[in-house]
Structures are given as structure tokens and as C-alpha cells.
């Protein structure tokens, strides 16, 4: 994607399989929103090939759009709509595209699934921020999409609502085989939800793999915590296994509360993004390269 003489995206390449949950991460200005808008068919790319459910999104028709679900960061709906009325109205647009394996959600089941049963007859303008976000999610999945785009989906959620949403994402992916592409600044959420992590920086994908795979490919020391006779210790070691063996040989059963903390997704993300921003070479093999190797 080029604006004037500036390439904001270049060589962004990845694929997604049915039922796969992918998190697209990156710093502000990395091109995440532009990438998503190209995939959704809302923005025309400058060059390259894109195929979404077998269709170029630049040429997608209504049949194609009915197979997608989109949850933007915010919606502008008429505040006088009531929750159930709005979802029932939107559901009608998807009935013509129902198949034997995929039908639009039953309105009341959908409302219960997103936790809005007690608010079904409230006007949209009367909902709290978290309740409004649940409605956003319901609007995005009302047609039971094959591919779902989620842009910062849990913004404004309290911890319980966030957990319930995570369960919903797993249900959509595992049971309905919905492919999900989400963007989030919450790295803990990405680690819990995503089968694969894509890190976009400088207009290109600099990492592609599961959170565990990416952590293993970035050299970093593990943090070991333990207690001996009630005294707490912390140590960093490149080879955590060798250190723990030595520790147990030295103190045996006196070692208690032993913990080994390896690099988190946040550690990996920061290492990769900082390396890219400083112009250092970033060599993190993709999942395909790992298999080939």
C-alpha cells in the first residue's frame, strides 16, 4: 500500500486456515488498520494479490460480504434502536444466504451468548460502554460468518466480560470453524486467544508463529524463583534446565516454591519491534520455514 511515494505496507504475506485464530500485533502506525481494511474490501491496495474466501475483496459482492463478520473499534447506530430489535432486524439480511451448515444466529440465543439478556429491551443509548461493546460483537457475528475480523474487540470489557468473550471466540473457532483475525494491544489476550501471532512493524510482517514458537526463537534468559529454608531467591539463566539441576543437586528437597518463567509474548514482541525500529536484522522464521527446516 503506497501513499504518494511512501510504502506503508510492502510484502505483507500470510495465510489463514478454517477455524484458525490469528492475532495481528504491531505498534501504532505499523499498518494494522490499513491491512485489515484491504482484507475487508474497504480500502483499495496499490499492488499485490489478496484472496478472502476465494474472492478478491476489491471485487466482493453481497454474497461474499454475507460470509464475513466485522467488529470495528466503534459503531454509530441510532441510539433509539432497542438491542433485540436491532439484532433481529440485522438478522433478516442474512436469511437469504443461509446454507445447510451455516445459518444466522437465533436472536435470543445470540443475545444470551454475548451476555445481554437482561438488557435486550434497552435502547442502545442506554447501554454502558462494556454493554455497547458486547452489542458490537453480536452485530459482527449475527450472520454466523465464516471469517470474522475483530478490531480491539474487548476494549471497555471488565475481567468477567473479557473471559466470557474469550470463551465465545474459542467456541466460534472450535465448533463453527470460524476463521478469526483480531487486532489487540493486549498481548496477554493475544497469547490466550491466538493459534498464531503475526507481528507487523515497518510495514511488513517480521514474525509469524505461535506465542511459544516465537519465544523460543528469541534468545532470552529465563527467570528462576525458589525458596530455601523460607528465604526467597531469584536468578536469571540462559540455560534454565542446567541451573535447576545444579540447584537441586546442591539443596535437594530443601528447594521449595520453584518457578521457571520463560520469555512471554510481551518480551518477544518488544525484542522484535525494538530490533526492527533500530534497524537491526530480524530473523524469525515463519511457521512454513520452520516446517521446511
E strand intervals along the chain = 2-3, 6-7, 21-25, 68-71, 147-151, 179-183, 196-201, 204-209, 222-228, 231-237, 255-261
pLDDT of residue 43: 93
Domain locations in the chain? 2-215, 221-261
> Which of 206, 182, 185 shows the shortest CA–CA distance to 195?
182
Residue 287, all three cell numbers: 511457521
Which of 167-176, 196-205, 279-288 comes out lowest in average pLDDT?
279-288
Looking at the chain, the number of H-run helices and the number of E-run strands are: 11, 11
pLDDT in tens, 32-58: 989 999 999 999 999 999 999 999 999
Q: How far apart are CA 49 and CA 252, in angstroms?
A: 60
Mean of the pLDDT values across residues 223-251? 90
pLDDT at 100 over 70: no
* Locus of grid cell 445459518: 103
| Superfamily the domain 2-215 falls into | P-loop containing nucleotide triphosphate hydrolases (3.40.50.300)
pLDDT in tens, 119-154: 999 999 999 888 888 898 899 999 999 999 998 888
pLDDT at 293 over 50: no
**pTM (2 d.p.):** 0.81
Mean of the pLDDT values across residues 98-102? 72
pLDDT of residue 288: 36
pLDDT at 17 over 70: yes
* Locus of grid cell 501513499: 3
Residue % of the chain over a pLDDT of 90: 51
CA atoms within 13 A on the CB side of 176: 22
Q: How far apart are CA 216 and CA 194, in angstroms?
A: 17
pLDDT band at 282 (very low <50, low <70, confident <90, very high): low
Question: Alpha helix (H) ranges present in 224-292?
Answer: 240-251, 265-277, 287-292
Mean of the pLDDT values across residues 114-123? 94
Which of 34-43, 95-104, 149-158, 231-240 comes out lowest in average pLDDT?
95-104
Q: How far apart are CA 265 and CA 194, in angstroms?
A: 11
- On average, the pLDDT of the chain sits at 86
- CA–CA distances in Å: residue 222 to residues 43, 165, 191, 212: 43, 31, 18, 14
Amino acid at each position: 500500500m503506497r501513499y504518494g511515494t511512501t510504502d506503508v505496507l510492502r510484502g505483507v504475506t500470510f495465510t489463514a486456515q478454517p477455524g484458525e485464530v490469528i492475532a495481528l500485533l504491531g505498534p501504532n502506525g505499523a499498518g494494522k488498520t490499513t491491512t485489515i481494511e484491504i482484507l475487508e474490501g474497504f480500502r483499495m491496495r496499490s499492488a499485490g494479490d489478496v484472496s478472502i474466501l476465494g474472492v478478491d475483496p476489491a471485487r466482493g459482492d453481497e454474497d461474499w460480504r454475507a460470509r464475513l463478520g466485522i467488529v470495528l473499534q466503534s459503531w454509530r447506530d441510532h441510539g433509539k434502536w432497542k438491542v433485540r430489535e436491532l439484532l433481529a432486524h440485522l438478522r433478516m439480511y442474512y436469511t437469504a444466504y443461509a446454507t445447510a451448515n451455516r445459518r444466522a444466529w437465533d436472536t435470543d440465543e445470540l443475545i444470551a451468548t454475548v451476555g445481554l439478556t437482561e438488557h435486550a429491551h434497552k435502547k442502545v443509548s442506554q447501554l454502558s460502554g462494556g454493554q455497547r461493546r458486547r452489542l458490537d460483537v453480536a452485530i459482527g457475528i449475527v450472520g454466523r460468518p465464516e471469517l470474522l475480523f475483530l478490531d480491539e474487540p474487548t476494549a471497555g470489557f471488565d475481567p468477567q466480560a473479557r473471559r466470557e468473550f474469550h470463551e465465545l471466540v474459542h467456541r466460534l473457532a472450535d465448533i463453527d470453524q470460524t476463521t478469526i483475525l483480531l487486532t489487540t494491544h493486549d498481548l496477554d489476550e493475544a497469547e490466550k486467544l491466538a493459534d498464531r501471532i503475526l507481528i507487523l512493524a515497518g510495514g511488513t510482517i517480521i514474525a509469524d508463529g505461535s506465542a511459544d514458537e516465537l519465544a523460543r526463537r528469541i534468545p532470552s534468559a529465563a527467570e528462576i524463583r525458589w525458596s530455601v529454608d523460607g528465604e526467597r531467591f531469584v536468578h536469571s539463566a540462559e540455560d534454565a534446565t542446567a541451573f535447576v539441576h545444579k540447584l537441586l543437586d546442591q539443596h535437594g528437597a530443601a528447594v521449595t516454591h520453584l518457578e521457571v518463567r520463560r520469555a512471554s509474548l510481551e518480551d518477544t514482541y518488544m525484542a522484535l519491534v525494538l530490533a526492527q525500529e533500530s534497524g537491526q536484522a530480524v530473523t524469525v522464521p515463519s511457521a512454513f520455514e520452520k516446517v521446511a527446516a
